[in-house]
Amino acid sequence: MTMLFKAGSCACLLGALAAGAMPAMVRAQGLVLEEVVVTARKRAESLQETPLAVTALDAEALRDANVRNLADLNKLAPNIDVVEANGSAPIASVYIRGVGQRNTGENIDSGVGIYIDDIYLSRPDGALLDLNDIQSVQVLRGPQGTLFGKNTTGGALVFTTNRPVDVLEAQLGVRVGNYDRRDADFVLNIPLGEQLATRISGVSRQRDGHIRNLVDGEDYMDEDRQSLIWQTRWWATPDLIVDLNLNWAETDQTMRPQKCRVVEGARGWQAALFDALAIGPATGRTTADFCRDAAEAGGGDPRKVLSDLGGDYQAENRGASLVAEWAINDDLSLKSVTGWRYTEAAQNDELDHTAIPFLHRTNTVHPRGGPGESDQYTQEFQLIGSAVDERLQYVAGLYWFREESDGRETANYLGPFDPALANLFFLNTSASELATENEARAAFAQLEWEFTANWRTTLGLRYTEEDRELRRTRYIPDPATLDASGGPVTPLGGGLYAVQRPGFVYNPAFGFLVDDIAGGETSDSDVSPMASIQYLLDPGDWIDQGSLYLTWSEGFLSGGLSEAPSGQLETFQPEEVENWELGFKLDLLDRRLRLNGALFYSDYTNRQLTTLVINPEVSSPSPATINAAESTIQGFELETSWLPVPNLLVGFNATFTDGDIQEFMDQQITIADSSVPPGPGCVRANLTILEVDSCPNDRSSENLPRLAEQSFLLSVQYHWETSIGQVTPRLQASLKKDIEFCFDALSCQTGLWLEDEQFDLSARLGWTSLDQRWSAALYGSNLTDETYLVGGTALVESSGTGGYAVNPPRMYGLDLRYHFGH
């Protein structure tokens, strides 16, 4: 490579460090723990001198821990919980310190920001990233409002891929395992002259399902994902580097049908309505009867279900980004990040978890048809520099974001029963479309001042303006098109239709009528400050390196519009958080022991939580976002790495967390006693054969969802040099205790969706050849074949029943790969 290329690499070092120099997880080099470099504050710095809670994992650490996608981080970093949405759909649902997103609708955002190569992923569809050719992952815990902006009240996940380099290299990998696991991935890096290089990587993940549906005999919750990334790097001048990234991903797989659970004594108003009008007349049984059948199916095995629909999910993601880094001088660089991302997703699943067509949800059978879509555009400028002999470090920037989304959903009830079951055919379906436009603008700055050799202070500020628009269109069936034979159609109320027999011919192409159009706009602005004070410890007899810090920060999560019990749209307020964190980072015993810990206290105002609202006019339940006025989360996190002897690395993480809701008023719909008037604040609705009351409900005593009260991780790994190469065995055990997965108020009161314990034992035995070209590994997860809750859709107030989902069973297999080049 010419001197121009080499000079360009050196001149752009500052800019590259600011965004491209990535962390190495704790590893041994002899009897010393290596230094970890992170970019959690938009510039490269030692983890041990960063005044915030960060877990950094590089490619080797991810490989050794058998981390293949985002969900595998669940057991590796403290206080993070990653599962599919409600345990069913392969949609990223990430929680950090008890903050995340349960409702994946287009009108709400997650409290955890996900970034890949500086681009924010606004939608969870397709965000269960397969970590192929990844340079690093950083888990940032706590609000990141100053540098990362809105929607990071819980934290952020920062992914960085490997950039093109100036040498020819390639890598091929295959993986096989039980449940017919068959994965393949590749990386190809090609220099294109003296100033240009390109890098292409791809991955295919395929596996059979592990949930057996006893209705159709098929296995569900399989894997079928493919992705490609094509990057090109141009060393334009000695001071300018330009990176182009084009990426594509596709998912086409089945969902996880949930196991049904009857809540004894619960009288769901919707089940009572449809049992009386349709299910009883058609079958002579009740919703609860069918749920008991499903609960007992397969001997009660939660991985054997009864589902008339099963469920499937398709998503496609396309993205492009252009990043330019200009080293203005030795102390100052300018970075531009331009991004575009397109997502479309469709799913069909059921919410009744039984073998009858009681409640289905789809966005493919719809008046407008097709999947939901989202387009997002981002532009960011960062100015990164230092002054006063590098005692002053600073970053400042401007940010712009725009998103246009169009989501569609159809909820189908009772349709069709097999006409042979009764003399009536029943149908209830409600379709809706959400169209959103979101735009945000922000300016930010943060500086660190080293005012003595030991003391540093950091100050930061971000100002954000945001505008959000939402338009909801609701559709109802056209009664004139329901019966292809021209038979009479009788509306029964509550959105339910009866079609008389004999002579009935079901018309699946029935028409829809526009029932209601609603819309609204919200505009918010926010100032997110932060401040920290840090003391760097002097090396001594037992301390080799260390720091103590106190950090105060604020953040906010976008507000918006959501469904209300009236069926109209109501505003929910932005979520705001004030966070205090007192931490320590210590390297001890000649850098053989590393202890990093933090005490934190987060005070939330208008915490956004997911509830269930039901519009009695169409009897259609749907998730909605409401505000819990006051809540707090506090806890302690510890990360430990220890080298007791050469090449033996022991890791231990522990978290102790407590979440408390001080004020949370919701609405609850119950069957009314017609002989007495509605209570204070209650609204009564007449549903033909019964009346329901929607009443204020105080839910302040509930647990916060997806927040483990305790979690522990213990790992032991040994690097063994032999005559045939390096052998690396690793054993890892994780334990999480007391996690809540309930949904509505009644399901939370039962305690049936509270998981006492999640335990996972995994192992990996890796081998790398002496020339570093060949590697192989035997791996296994959930080796003790535990079964525990990972989610559920518990609509107990409406149906008197609920669904729950469990973790994957024991998985094991063989990984083989070949590498050549640098």
Number of domains in the chain: 1
Assigned domain for 22 exists: yes
* Residue 12 covered by a domain: yes
Is 628 within the bounds of a domain? yes
pLDDT for the residue 9: 40
pLDDT of amino acid 368: 65
Sign of the dihedral through C-alpha 76, 81, 87, 88: negative
Question: 7 in a domain, yes or no?
Answer: yes
What totals of helices (H) and strands (E) does the chain contain, helices first? 8, 48
What does the pLDDT read at residue 664? 93
Cα-to-chain-centroid distance, residue 572: 21
Say what the pLDDT of residue 427 is.
67
Residue 674 lies in a domain: no
Range of the domain at 364: 3-664+699-821
| DSSP of 785-808 | ----EEEEE--HHHHSEEEEEE--
Residue 178, in any domain of the structure: yes
Q: What is the DSSP string of 393-414?
A: EEEEEEEEEEEEEEEEEEEEES
CA distance 79 to 110: 16
Which residues have C-beta within 8 Å of that of residue 159, sequence separation ≥ 6? Answer: 114, 115, 116, 117, 129, 131, 134, 136, 137
pLDDT tens digits, residue range 77-121? 899 998 877 766 778 889 999 998 877 777 888 889 999 999 999
SS3 167: coil
- In this structure, are residues 631 and 575 in contact, taking their beta carbons and an 8 Å threshold? no
**pTM of the predicted structure, to 2 decimals:** 0.90
**Confidence at residue 11, expressed as pLDDT on a 0 to 100 scale:** 37
Could you tell me the two tokens for 460?
A: 């930061």
CA–CA separation, 426 and 499 (whole Å): 6
pLDDT of residue 358: 78
Give the pLDDT of residue 7.
39
In this structure, is residue 281 part of a structural domain?
A: yes
Residue 417, pLDDT score: 55
- The per-residue pLDDT for range 754-803, each reduced to its tens digit, is 999 999 999 999 999 999 999 999 999 999 999 999 999 888 988 899 99
In a domain, 679, yes or no: no
- Domain CATH code at residue 805: 2.40.170.20
Residues of the chain under the 50 pLDDT cut: 1-29, 418-423
Q: What is the pLDDT of residue 501?
A: 52
DSSP 8-state secondary structure symbol assigned to residue 298:
G
